[in-house]
Homo-oligomer: A and B are copies of this chain.
Amino acid sequence: MQLAMVDDKIQPLEELGPAHLDRGIFFGDGVYEVICSYGGRIFALEEHLRRFAGSLVAIGITDVDIELIRSRVLNAFDAAAIADAKIYFHITRGSAPRNHAAPPNLKPNFFLTITEHQEDTEAKTNGIAVSTHPDWRWKRCDIKSLNLLPNVLARRDAAEKGCAEAILVDDAGMITEGASSAFFAILENTLQTAPLAANILPSITRDFVIKAAANAELQVVEKSFTPQQASAADELFIAFTTQDIVPVVKFDDKKIGDGKPGPHTGQLIQEFRTFTQQGL
């Protein structure tokens, strides 16, 4: 008899629900997005849907109607009635007995959660500590996939060092980005971050940080830099969807500036707020 075992329970394989046979769990064969709302309005929905569509195409899931995804997100958001929400969703190639080669005409699985989203006031006000970790990720980090074990392991390492984020360093000794954030430095009154490439997620928050910098008349240089340069920066910060900009005040145990969030970072946080609060 073909069978399955979930923890201690043996059961016929045929009785397993699709969640147990999801290619998302066997292979991480899927892509995801995280979106936030502010005061009842979803921020940058179109940008996230566009990136999501790109991720789906990149892994060859071609039969998903993005209009359907948009309507599902909006329906769920309406139903949740959470003004400041964190919306997570993923699509996987579907459910089937485990085999690298997916059967043809598999129906993709859609999964979404909506939870409350709170600003981490402590982190934004006082800044966080980060530590470096080798960038162990795959070579297509431009695809927002469910293969996130290297990110999880880097974050575990950071947590063991008392740090809130891991900053990833490639084989050439250059910083790529954070385990779940974009990474920025203020170096000589210029905002610097690694350029977009296959080894960097095309972060939507990163795009808005660059727009915020333009509004603040701060020059932006998209050029990789080293941990040594980061340690000596005037200011550092990370940026990610759920908290936008979070100042970094310690980098591998080295105090940044005077150990408090710097003025450029503060200004960018204010500029970013004009985007998320627009029309509120």
Query: A: which residues have CB within 8 A of B?
Result: 1-8, 10, 13, 17, 19-20, 22-30, 59-60, 72, 75-76, 79-82, 88-90, 92-93, 97-98, 100-102, 109-116, 134-140, 145-153, 155-156, 159, 179-180
Contacts and interface: CB of A to CB of B under 8 A. Distances in A.
A142 to B, nearest CB: 11
Contacts of A110: 5-7
Which of A1, A30, A111, A116 has the most B CB atoms < 10 Å from its CB?
A111
11 contacts: A2-B113, A7-B109, A13-B114, A19-B25, A27-B28, A27-B149, A59-B149, A100-B152, A135-B139, A138-B147, A140-B150
A2 B114 contact: yes
Given A79-B3, A79-B10, A138-B136, A148 B28 contact: yes
A23 B152 CA distance: 10
Contacts of A152: 23, 27, 29, 59, 93, 100, 102
A128 to B, nearest CB: 13
Nearest to A16: B113
A70 to B, nearest CB: 13
Nearest to A165: B100
Nearest to A154: B100
A31 B30 CA distance: 18
Contact of A115 (B2, B92, B137): B2
A135 B140 CA distance: 10
Given A100-B180, A111-B4, A146 B27 contact: yes
Contact of A100 (B27, B92, B114, B179): B179
Given A1-B79, A25-B24, A138 B150 contact: yes
Contacts of A30: 25
Given A5-B75, A101-B155, A135-B139, 19 more contacts: A2-B115, A5-B72, A5-B76, A5-B110, A6-B111, A7-B109, A10-B76, A17-B19, A19-B19, A20-B111, A25-B25, A25-B28, A25-B30, A29-B152, A59-B149, A60-B156, A137-B139, A146-B149, A147-B149
